[in-house]
Structures are given as structure tokens and as C-alpha cells.
Amino acid sequence: MKLKKQVTVCGGAIFCVAVFSLYLMLDRVQYDPARRQNSGNFPRSQISVLQNRIEQLEQLLEENHQIISHIKDSVLELTETGVGAPGAQLPYRNPNGSWVVPFDGRPAFLSVSPQDCQFAHGRRGHKTDLQMLDVYSLLNFDNLDGGVWKQGFEITYDPGEWDSEPLQVFVVPHSHNDPGWIKTFDKYYSDQTQHIFNNMLVKLQEDPRRKFVWSEISFFAKWWESADSQKREAMRRLILGGQLEMVTGGWVMTDEANVHYFAMIDQLIEGHQWLEKNIGVTPRSGWAVDPFGHSATMPYLLKRANLTSMLIQRVHYSIKKHLSATRSLEFMWRQAWDLESGTDIFCHMMPFYSYDVPHTCGPDPKICCQFDFKRLPGGRVNCPWKVPPRAIVEANVAERAYLLLDQYRKKSKLYRSKVVLVPLGDDFRYDKAQEWDQQYLNYHRLFDYMNSHPEMHVHAQFGTLTDYFDAVYKANNVAQGARPPSYPVLSGDFFAYADREDHYWSGYYTSRPFYKNMDRVLESHLRGAEILFSLALAHSRRAGMQGRYPTSDYTLLTEARRNIGLFQHHDAITGTAKEAVVIDYGVRLLRSLVGLKRVIINAVHFLILRNKDNYHFYQTEPFLETDERRATQDSLPQRTLIELDSTPRFLVLFNPVEQERLSLVTVLVNSARVRVLTEEGQTIPVQLSAQWSSISEMSNDGYQATFAARLPALGLAVFQLYDSFDSSLTLHSDTVLRLNGHKLALRSLDPLPLRSLPADQNTFYIHSQSLQLGFSGTTGLLERIKLKDDQQEVKLQMEFLIYGTRPSKDKSGAYLFLPDGKPKPYTQKEPPVVRVEEGPLFSEVVASYQHFQLSVRIHNLPGVDGLSLDITTMVDIRDQANKELAMRLVTDIQSEGTFFTDLNGFQIQPRRYFKKLPIQANFYPMPSMAYIQDSQHRLTLHTAQALGVSSLDNGQLEVILDRRLMQDDNRGLGQGLKDNKRTANMFRILLERRASINKVQDSQPVSFPSLLSHMTSVFLNSGVLALPVLPKKGGIPPLRSFAPLSGTMPCDYHLLNLRTIQSQKEEQVPSPDAALLLHRKGFDCGLEAWNLGFNCTTTQGKLSISGLFQGLDVQSIHPMSLSLMYAGAPLSNGSLIRLDPMEISTFRLRLR
């Protein structure tokens, strides 16, 4: 009875709070002249102001209706969990052995507007001319010999076809410069790239008809830094005059398989911002000749950056042949979720094997090679087809011109317009003045002859990429970027890539996973540092203290942006560079990680001080310590040890997620008598566990203290840690070693218990409030899972497998995956030692094998972190030769050959297992997640690093963890993969019940994660940072938590970045403006809705930016193109913005 009374009181209190909050919100939207004064002057009419106010009011009323409608459910939930019951502050055990941990009892609800569910469910009738999944089903992949064009077919034409409309030929000179591959970025620059720029400057000025395109801004910026003002001005004239075109304009030509969309966008912004500041030019066309397969995310990002056209090259030869046969190599590339044409971008696919000169003038490489004048006799490069080029002179120009025109005509027959594109270049070309003369002078003689003979019906010239695209649009009588009549619309992606035979480039999805993981850690730190730096800068301006805040940290941010951008290059994150180059990338990443931690620490220092007058920045005396340290670029992180005594040690936790978060936080302390207090002084439960020096030995180097923390969105929370005798809320992990016949030395650490048991074959279990997991008594590997409220267990079996490589001929290497057949089960002579650790906040099973250690942990929490399995595989295969280690999940899910992988963490691409293709062709990149499903369940494998994934049988998901290969795979690297590291791969496994099934929807070429799945991915990739405050002689000034958001963001919104923009006047100095990048996620409502642990509402895409940040005024808001190159009309201060599902938008804000 007493409990019911308490629950009633609690429910009443919640109701009062909801009503009072409605009153405050109504008050908030009232017109306040003083606020308008502080927020800058905005052009607006009284009617639009009134409309905005009404919209805000409607939104707030709807939110509060949803809040009140959920109070009853929340109260019932409080009753079930016993929160508020006498003595419920101490964790206790249920009769079944599972722990119950009382939390703050704050109600949390999920309230999704029905209209927001329609996006994922309303996809019927959506059809493009070319859907890549259907193309894959259609093709035989038979690799027939096509004659001179080995992978194609014979091309014929009628010589009179161009009589009425002459052929237009655009020859586009280019030089592909890898920012690291065989040599490091700096070595390439000093040996070759700087000479390309210096010769370019001279040679393009010699003749205005000469053209060139350049892509990698990383190299161009390095040249610019050392160029004098005269050279800079000359180069600027060439660009603005249209002789030199900057194509794509990213910091690098990014990989498209392993990269996360945060980093894809960031390197694009970095390149575009550099071009805007230094040249004043905006790229119009995309150029991607070397990424090993192409993602559908890239056209979306280029379209959002206001580029109008794009070019791609590395696509499976069978797909190229199919599109060539139907003259569909040029198409409008549309996103799979787009029911109209808003995401369309014009795309040109190159038809032949490579982007080098022998494979670009036409179908016959033997002839095209004769027109690569760098290969003239006497040079270092020759033609493999044994027919060398000949210099063009009066005696041979006619014969040579007709021979070349025949290739141009044949190539043009593969396209729908009478305009043909002929790239002229290769890797690191044009580094010597002689080549510029050889190519340009000989081609001008050919062009002059062609153009002066009208009977040839051709006009040939040098051009830029945009010159070509403009001619195509003009020939079709459409505007730039518009769809020419009858041109096809295509959706889907171009993975996996094969360049010949069964040589699929699916190995690089996993190659060097240590650095793929490190990259993701850097991205999370960069985003966190950007957001905190922007907020600290704005608050320091508001407090009139901008002169005291270390704006010099902007230099560290810029360096990190550029080093992370460099690593997105298609030979960096891919794991396909030389060993010395990999070390160079690693050193750069580690240096930036250290710099980013410093930026974060300096921002946190300012933001958590209760009284900002106490703020003093000293470069040599940081206020906080870092959470962890890496000794070298290739070592795993080690937690910082926090020394405790009877005086409080303050700990600041940073939540980089835009939603409130309830998560477990683990810190390393020197005392077992640790006590943790919240900012309000409330003692909270702690689970004390050991650090392990081996599977059976506890380390003497400290204790792990784990506690649950509720953290504000994008905010900072302050906790206190003591060494205290009064530690009734410090509970010890109970650890059992299942020895399986091993005679191991056990080492415990007082007061933590350690027991050993002879293992048996019976299944053993660990529990949480949401999950029950069953493990094999023999292998220690997961076998089954049961969700809360389910009566039946679900099969979820983990297996480890070994792939070999082919015994003869071509073998697997850094790029290629060429297995010797199906994988074999991983076996070792001795059974594994298994450690089972149980406690009130988490339970964990660790199985120790010779080449890997598998940890499966569950969190005893409500909300996102408590609903998935936390998986870590510590892999070390350094003693293996030509072996690849895979982890397979085996379930009873009837997936029937269909599985789903993400593209760049941005969107989901359905896949099918094709028996007609070899194993390696059925692997795909998995940057953030993959799932299988049937009518009852969906099983998602979330990952914290990009790896290769497949589903080779019904109900299975399989991921390659690491690969060690002893030979080169003949793609230019000249090395195997022998520099493996001890690597921690991190995953989350999420099993969801499907609540509503729609077979039509399931067959569509598009799919979406649930909101829970989205949040699980974000939590995994954006870990909480735990920063200890360093002790000070004079004591610590008063601290307080920092919550930057004034309300909750809609939970289908992701704040992708808040990136301080560079000053246009000074180098390495921040401007008062920041770029706010928002992504509204598409999600599937057809999965059972769980309590996410925070209040989750959707608003049909509406958001008020002006009221987003607490304690700051938004002085101006400008909608921008993705990379800030184009500005829209400024928004009024009270405006609501609205994003469509899947939309990414950028806004330029001035905060104060």
C-alpha cells in the first residue's frame, strides 16, 4: 500500500512538472523585445513571425500531449522496478541470481509521430531505370573474351553518323597523386608533386588552349604554403581563367568503402574551405578515378555541396560491359530512398579497364598507348603491346589523326551524346617539363589537323572536366546538372569491385584493422573537440573573456582535420600502403589524438567552472588529465590511473551524443575502497573489478571502478571520487575461472574474489534486467539469447573460422581476397580458459584462445546500453601465414540469402548472396553495421571499425577480423600484409523483435535501422570521455555540470558537427561563426519499441535552432550548401527549420 501511495505521489509530481513545463514553454515563445535586441536584427514580416510562433506553439503542445500520455506508462514502469521502495538504494539479487540496480527512476519514453513512420513504410511504386541489385541478379558474370577490348565487345559504327553533328572531343590532362602509397605524403611531394605544380605554372601559361584538372587539395595546399606571392597570383589566374580546374576539391580523393560519412564530409569541407579562402573558386564536378568501388553516399554528398556532375572509374568489368551495351554509362544517380528526383546528380562512368592513357582514348589499348607521348622511344616508360608512340610530324599526322579518331568514335558509341571525354594522364604524371611538351605539342598537331579537315566531322580540343559536362548539357539542350532526355536513372552502389577474372577487391575492407579502429577513435575525438571548442569560444565571447581563452587551439583542430582527412585517402584507411607509409599515417593520427585531447581538456576547463573569473589558462599546467594514453602509434590505449585519498578527486564526464545518456563508465583507481558521488553529493553504486595481466592473473596496477552515469546531451557532468571506508555501495565482481583441464597460476587481488572450477559441457548463463545469455560449457562461446519478456530462447551461436589463400597462381593480398575455398573451423589443441565475471552493473564472459580473446559483456542498465551485447575481440595473428580470421554469427533467422550492410554509416544497402559468384564477391564493406532479418526478428552487428562482412548461408552473418598475407597481390603495392598489430575489434550485437511485417517493403531496394539501432551505433562510436581533474595546491575552484542544449533534440536528428569556421583574413584563426551540420535519420518503426533511457520524441523534422543552445543567443542563421560554399537567405531568429528524412543540412551560425 505504501509503495502504491509513493507511486501515486511520484506520478502526480510528474504531471505537475509536465504542466509547469508547458507553461514555461508557452512563456518562452512570447515575443521578447530585449531578446530580439541581443540576438541581432533579422528581416521579417509580422505575419511570418506570427506563423512561426503558431508553429512553435503547435509543436510544443504536441510534445506535451505526448509527455502527459506517457506518464501513466512511466508510473507503471516505476511500480514494476520497485523504484521508490524503502531500502531500494542498494543493489540486490533476484532469486534467479540476476542483479537489480535501482536508478533515479526518472521516467523515459519513446513517442514517435505516425507521420515520421511513413517514410520507411511508404516506399511502394518506387522504381528507377537501373537498380544495381537487379543488375546483379540479371548478369551472368561470364567474362567472355571481347577481342581488343578484352572485357567488352567489338564496337562498330557507320562513318556517316557524324555528318550532321560533328563529334566533340575533350581531352582532359590529369595527374593522379596519391597522398601516400608507395612513398609517404611528404616524400611524394618532395620527389614528384611539387615539380608537377611548378611545371604546370610555366607550361599552362605558354598556351591558353592548354587545360588541366587537379583533385587533391592536401598536395595543392602544401605547394601554396611555400610559393611566393607571384607564383600564387599566377596559379590563381590559371584557375579563375578556366585553364586549371579543381575537381571534387576534397582534401583527398577519399576511399568510399571503409570511410564514415562524418569524415567524408569533413575532408570535403576542409578542401572547399581552403579553396574559398585562398583561391575564391567553387568546384563544380566530381572526379574519382581510383577508389576501389563506389558508394551511393558520395553522389548525395556532392549534390548537397552543389556540385552538378561527377565521374567514376573503378566498377566491376561485367557491370561496365552491361552499361556500355545499353549506352547507360551516363546516368542520373539517385538515392534509393528518394521517390522524386531531389538527390539526382549526373554521373559519367569511364568504360574501360583503367584511367591510364592506354585505356582512355578508346577500346584498343594497343592503339591508345601509341598516343601516350611520354612513352616515346628513349624514355623510361614503354608500351607493353610492343608498338611505341611516334612523334607527330607533317608526314604522319594524317594517318595518326585518322587512327586516333577511329578510337574516339568507337568510344563515343558507348554514350548517348556526340561528345566524348578522353582523360590523358596517370599516377604522378607531368612531373617533368619534357612530358608537358611531349603531350601538349603532339596533341595540338593532331587537333589542328582534325579541326582543319571538315570531312573528318570532329572538333577536338583540350578541356577540363566541366568543359566536357557543359558540352553534354548543351548538346542535350538542358541546364547544368539537369537530366538530359532519355538518360537513365540509376540507384544503388558499385561494390564489390573486380578489375579482371575473379579478382575481387574485397580484402581491403578489413586490411590493417588496427588503423581502421584508430581512425574511428580519432573521428569521435575530432567531433567532440569541434563541438566543445565552438561552445567554449561562444561562452567566452558572451562573458567578455575571448582574450583569455586559448584560441590557439584552433591550430590543433586544423591539424587534426587535415591528418584525419589525409587518412581517408583510398590507400590509407584501406590498409593498402607500404609499411613505412602506414607508420607515417599512424604517427600523424597519434599526434592529432594528443592534440585533440588537449583541445577537449581546455574547453572542458572553461565550461565547468562555476565562476568564470577563476579561469586561468596555463599551457604547461593543464586543469585535467586525459582519459587514456597510447605509448606509440601502434599500441593499444592504457587507462589513466586516478590516485585516491580522503580528499575528493573530481572526474568530468563528456557525453558526445546529442541525447541524454545513461551509460556505464569505468575508471582505473589505486584503491579498492572507492566511493563515487554525484555533483549533488549522492553516493552511487560502484562495481569494483580487476585489471587482468593474463586470463587468470589480476594485475597489481589498480582496480577498475564502474558506475552508471546519467549525462546531459553533448554535456559535461562532474563526479567526485574518494578513498573511503564507508563503501557499502561499492560491490565486488564475482569471478570464476573455468579451467578446462588447464593447470594455471591464479592470482587474485584483495578484496576481489577469484574462484576456479573444472569446466563441464553444460550451458552456463549470465543475466541482466533485459537479457539472458547462454554460453557453451566447452568453448566458452555464446550459443543463445533470451530477451526480456520472451518465453523462448533464440539461437545466437558464435563461431570462429580460418580462411586460407589459393595454393598457386594469384593469392590474397592487401587489396584482393582470394580464398582457397570455404573457411575451416578455428581449432587449437587445448580447450580455452573461460573467465566469468558477474556483478550488479555488468557481467562478462571472456574466452581465451591462442589467437584471439573474445569478451561478451552485458550492461545491467535501462535504455540503449542495456539492450545490446558488448563484444570485444582481441586479435593477434602475428605468428600465422596466409590466414584470415573470421567471426560468424549463426541464428535460426530465415534470412533466405538477403542481408543488409551500411554505406559509410549513412544509409543501408540491401544485399543478396549470389551462388553464381565466388565467396570473395559476396563480401561487402561494413563501416558501421550489418543485419539479417525474418518475419520475427532482426539481428544487427554494430561495429566500431570498418571490416568486411557477408552472409554466406541462411541465418548467418560473418565478419573478417584480421588478415595476414605473405605476398603481394600484383596491384602495385609490392608487399604483403605482414605488419599486423594486436588489435581490439569492438562490436555491439542487437536482437530486435519485429512488430509489423510488410513483405512489399522487405523486398524494396532500401531499408532502415530502428531508432534503437541508430542510437546503439552512435553510443558505440561515441564513447563517454572520463577526464580526471588534476589536484591543485590551492584547491579546486567550484565546478558545475554543463548542459549546452536548452531542450531535447528530436531523436531522429543527429548533430553531425558544430565546426568553428576559419577566419577569412588570418591564418589558423577562428572566425566568430560555426557550421552546424544536422542529419535527420530515416528509421524503421516496424521493430518493437524499447525504452531508450531518455525522452525520445520526433517532430516531423521540425527544429528551432535559435532556441537550441542554453545560455547563448543565435545572432544569425544562414542555410548553406554542405561544404559552406553557397549561402541561402538568412533565417529569422524565431524560424523553425525542417529537414526531410535522410537529409543532411549545414547552417552557418553566429553564437554569443
Q: Model confidence over 254-298: pLDDT tens digits?
A: 999 999 999 999 999 999 999 999 999 999 999 999 999 999 999
Whether the bond into 377 is cis, omega within 30 of 0: no
Residue 1090 · residue 867 · CB < 8 Å = yes
Alpha-carbon distance 740 to 737, whole Å?
Answer: 9
Look at 609 and 58; give whichever has higher pLDDT. 609
- In the three-class reduction of DSSP (H, G, I as helix; E, B as strand; rest coil), residue 637 is classed as coil
Rounded to whole angstroms, the Cα distance separating 460 from 445 reads 11
The per-residue pLDDT for range 977-1019, each reduced to its tens digit, is 999 999 999 999 999 999 877 666 777 889 999 999 999 999 9
How far is the C-alpha of 955 from the C-alpha of 916, rounded, in Å? 19
Identify residue 896 by its one-letter amino acid code: E
Q: How confident is the model at residue 76, as a pLDDT?
A: 39
3-class SS at 885?
strand
Averaged pLDDT, 55-72: 51
List b or e across 411-420, with b for residues whose CB sees 16 or more CB atoms inside 10 angstroms: bbbbbbbbbb
Contact 872, 855 (CB under 8 A): yes
Looking at the chain, the whole-number percentage of residues with pLDDT higher than 70 is 91
Cα 751 to chain centroid, rounded: 43
Looking at residue 19, what is its pLDDT?
41
Q: From 560, 519, 590, 565, select the one nearest 928 (Cα to Cα).
A: 519
Angle at 298 between CA 813 and CA 481, to 5 degrees: 140
- Please tell me the distance from the alpha carbon of residue 642 to that of residue 651, in angstroms, as a whole number: 9
On the question of pLDDT at 669 being above 70, the answer is yes
Quick one: pLDDT band at residue 1034, thresholds 50, 70, 90? confident
For 538-576, b where at least 16 C-beta lie within 10 A, e where not — what string? bbbbbeeeeeebbbebbbbbbbbbbbbbbbbbbbbbbbb
pLDDT in tens, 894-946: 999 999 999 999 999 999 999 999 999 999 999 999 999 999 999 999 999 99
Average pLDDT over residues 763-786: 96
244 touches 235 (CB < 8 A): yes
59 against 125, higher pLDDT: 59
Question: Would you state the pLDDT for residue 1142?
Answer: 97
Q: Which of 255, 266, 290, 1113 is catalytic?
A: 290
* Number of residues in the chain: 1152
- Mean pLDDT across the stretch 594-614? 96
Residue-averaged pLDDT of the chain: 91
pLDDT in tens, 127-141: 799 999 999 999 999
Nearest Cα neighbor of 732 from 758, 777, 698 is: 698
Q: How confident is the model at residue 71 (pLDDT cuts 50, 70, 90)?
A: very low
Q: How far is CA 49 from CA 53, 58, 201, 1102, in A?
A: 6, 14, 54, 16
Nearest to 1092 by CA among 914, 868, 901: 868
Q: Is the pLDDT of residue 27 over 90?
A: no
Q: Which helix (H) or strand (E) holds 871?
A: strand 869-875
pLDDT of residue 995: 86
- Beta strands 330-333 and 489-491, pairing class: parallel
Strand partners, 915: none
Number of helices (H) and strands (E) in the chain: give both, helices first: 21, 53
Instruction: Classify strands 754-757 and 734-738 as parallel, antiparallel or unpaired.
Output: parallel
Which residue, among 261, 263, 267, has the nearest Cα to 249 in the 3D structure?
A: 267
Q: Given this model, what pLDDT does residue 70 score?
A: 46
Average pLDDT over residues 674-679: 95
Provide φ and ψ at 210, rounded to 5°. -80, 140
Sign of the torsion formed by the C-alpha atoms of 678, 681, 686 and 692: positive
The H or E element spanning position 1022 is none
CA distance 1128 to 306: 12
pLDDT band at 713 (very low <50, low <70, confident <90, very high): very high
pLDDT, residue 98, reads: 76
Residue with cell 568453448: 779
Q: CA 282, CA 265: separation in Å to the nearest integer? A: 16
d(CA 909, CA 84): 46
> Which of 74-88, 784-798, 904-918 bottoms out in mean pLDDT, i.e. has the lowest?
74-88
Contact 251, 267 (CB under 8 A): yes
**How far is C-alpha 196 from the geometric centre of its chain's CA atoms?**
32
Q: Three-class SS of residue 602?
A: helix
134 is an active site residue = no
Q: What are phi and psi of 239, to 5 degrees?
A: -70, -50
Q: According to the model, what pLDDT value does residue 1092 have?
A: 87
Burial of 234 (0-12, 13-18, 19+ CB in 10 A): middle
Residue 63 has pLDDT above 90, yes or no: no
Strands (E), 655-697: 661-669, 674-677, 683-684, 686-692
Res 24: pLDDT: 43
Please check whether residue 650 is in contact with residue 1039, taking contact to mean a CB–CB distance below 8 angstroms.
yes
Cis peptide before 498 (omega within 30 of 0): no
Q: pLDDT for 726-756, tens place per residue? A: 778 899 999 999 988 778 888 999 999 999 9
Query: Whose CA is closest to 919, among 801, 827, 803?
Result: 803
Measured distance CA(1081)–CA(925) in Å, rounded: 21
